[in-house]
Amino acid sequence: MYDEMSKSGEPFDIYISTLAESRMRHQAIKATPDRLEVMGLLLGEVCRWRGKAYAVVMNVGTTDLENTPAKVRFDPGALPGLFKELDGAGFDYIIVGWYHSHPGHTCFLSRTDLRTQRTMFDQPFHCALVIDPVNREIKAFKLSEDGYTEVPFALVSEGGPKLRRLRTGMQG
Ligand SMILES: [Zn+2]
């Protein structure tokens, strides 16, 4: 999928900073011994190129979780802390989607995941990232007419010109 997109000259649906990717990956790996799911929000920006909207994920926001091997949600008592963390993100982000992990059971959207996506993340740029730290897999999904579809993403090194421009443009 990556190779095809690179050749097409079209923008990927999602660009993920190496900072955001490593934070998600490490959070997922840390919970792997107990096979716990983790989750969080994708913070970034929506850009447009030749009429196509795509998301740039610059960072992630997460907090204490109520999690089991097959279920995860934010700990309701920790939400004020999450909002505080988001406020301290240091840039004017928008929430471009969410991520969660499937430790050992591959990357897809379950019926519950799909319901979450339809309820909370129904904009064309909204995506869902699923990480399987056991099978070392990460996939990006978006809603489609008949459910959901996998979409291509690319990693952007944190100091890349695009991210640097976004960050400096948004300070203050
Ligand atoms: Zn899931």
Segment 145-171 mean pLDDT? 71
Q: Which domain holds residue 163?
A: 14-170
Domain count, the chain: 1
Residue 96 lies inside a defined structural domain of this protein? yes
- Ligand 1 centroid to residue 109 C-alpha, Å: 5
- Ligand 1 centroid to residue 131 C-alpha, Å: 9
Q: Tell me, what's the pLDDT at 58?
A: 92
What is residue 170's three-state secondary structure?
A: helix
Q: What is the pLDDT of residues 55-111, one digit of tens each?
A: 999 999 998 999 998 889 999 888 888 888 888 777 778 999 999 999 999 999 999
How far the first Cα of the chain sits from its last, in Å, is: 38
Residue 6 lies inside a defined structural domain of this protein? no
Is pLDDT above 90 for 129?
A: yes
- Ligand 1 centroid to residue 17 C-alpha, Å: 22
**Strand 153-156 to strand 14-17: parallel, antiparallel, or no bridges (unpaired)?**
parallel
The DSSP secondary structure of 17-28, one letter per residue, reads EHHHHHHHHHHH
Phi, psi of 127 (to 5 degrees): -130, 165
Which CATH number fits the domain that encloses residue 101? Answer: 3.40.140.10
Tell me which amino acid residue 101 is: S
Kindly give, in sequence order, each residue whose CB lies less than 8 Å from that of residue 32, ignoring residues fewer than 6 positions away: 103, 133, 134
Is pLDDT above 50 for 171?
A: no
Confidence at 170, pLDDT banded by 50, 70, 90 = very low
| C-beta of residue 129 within 8 angstroms of C-beta of residue 121 | no
- Ligand 1 centroid to residue 170 C-alpha, Å: 33
Segment 127-153 mean pLDDT? 96
Is pLDDT above 80 for 163?
A: no
Residue 4 lies inside a defined structural domain of this protein? no
Residue 30 lies inside a defined structural domain of this protein? yes
**Strand 52-61 to strand 65-68: parallel, antiparallel, or no bridges (unpaired)?**
unpaired
121: number of CA atoms within 13 Å, CB side? 25
Q: Tell me, what's the pLDDT at 169?
A: 42
